[in-house]
Amino acid sequence: MAYKVIHYINQFFANIGGEEMAHIAPEIREGAVGPGLGLNQQFKGEAEIIATVVCGDSYFNENIEAATTKIIDLIKDYQADLFIAGPAFNAGRYGTACGTICKAVQDKLNIPTLTGMYIENPGADMFKKEVYIIETSNAATGMRKALPKIGSLAMKIVKGEDILDAKTEGYMLRGIRKNYFADKIGAERAVDMLVKKLTGEEYTTEYPMPEFDRVNPGAAIKDLSKARIALVTSGGIVPKGNPDHIESSSASKYGKYEISKVSDLTSAEYETAHGGYDPVYANEEPDRVLPLDVLRDLEKEGVIGSIHPYFYTTVGNGTAVKSAKAFSEEIAGKLLNDGVDAVILTST
């Protein structure tokens, strides 16, 4: 008899819709849906997706406790052998939902779980030590490469086979170390690595050290009433029509726009280019993302000295860390040259 698998996907992969349908509550469908059809092929008859849970990304992240409780209730009677979520690639809310529901299923139903996402997905940092997460590319174009890895590890999990190291199996490091018998003693292996390092050869450490990206906080502003404040956002607020064509995902650029004579960002003149959240509320009132109206009030009241006459904007959705770092360095340099004392940096 085939192992029973339950699959979790969002509204997009269920072919319900994009951000306009991200509010839908959890529902369950019999059998495989969307990427689940490809997963079934990877199981080669040894396992089968018996049901698919669908939930909108916005709904899950805005109602985490209620959504989790509902999904647990929907699947508890299926007596599944495995629960798979995603893959979520670099979709942040989807990744967070996949990690959250996988951990809940493990803890509350004692069912093993598995998901997949890009290494920079916030869900990866949140759950990689608690849930098996197959490392994927940053976009759904990598689905064909992701599904075989998920399928392979899934079958090992349900069969109770030994799970090998992260590099071999393709999952993210979980911080778990196991003793094993090696061909060479530690001293010999250490010397081998040292020789390779000295000669410029490729080598892999057996004890990777954590990397911490630390940022020293800036000094406090002594007198706000004399400070020049700038607005910067990764929420994608742009002049109507997106004149610089900033991408809705994986942005390759940022924009700089004058606001010296603007006191309110109206829906008639501004909108969001962001493709990673429901744009309705941001388009209705762009100040919700870039609070120029409130800042103008503070300027009139003398709480702050002045507002920088330009704001900078880009889209954080799926944008690579390398690109974001380059944007920030360029923008910071320009702001410093313009005598800006502080920045209000908003997201979504």
State which H helix or E strand residue 325 sits in: helix 321-337
At position 110, the amino acid (one-letter code) is N
Taking residues 314-337, report their average pLDDT: 89
Average pLDDT, the chain: 92
Q: What's the alpha-carbon Rg for the chain, to the nearest Å? A: 24
Alpha-carbon separation of residue 289 from 22, 139, 313 (angstroms): 19, 26, 11
DSSP H or E stretch at residue 97: helix 92-109
pTM for this entry: 0.69
**Cα separation, 198 vs 85, whole angstroms:** 43
Q: How deeply is 166 buried, as exposed, middle or buried, from its count of CB atoms within 10 A (0-12, 13-18, 19+)?
A: middle
Query: Could you give all domains of the chain from N- to C-terminal order, each with its CATH number?
Result: 3-169 (3.40.50.2300), 224-346 (no CATH)
Q: By mean pLDDT, which of 74-78, 164-168, 223-227 is the weakest?
A: 164-168
- Assigned token pair, 330: 């360029």
Q: What is the pLDDT of residues 268-309, one digit of tens each?
A: 999 999 988 888 999 999 999 999 999 999 999 999 999 999
Read off the pLDDT of residues 211-224 as tens digits, 9 standing for 90 and up: 777 778 888 899 99
Distance between CA atoms of residues 288 and 307, nearest Å = 17
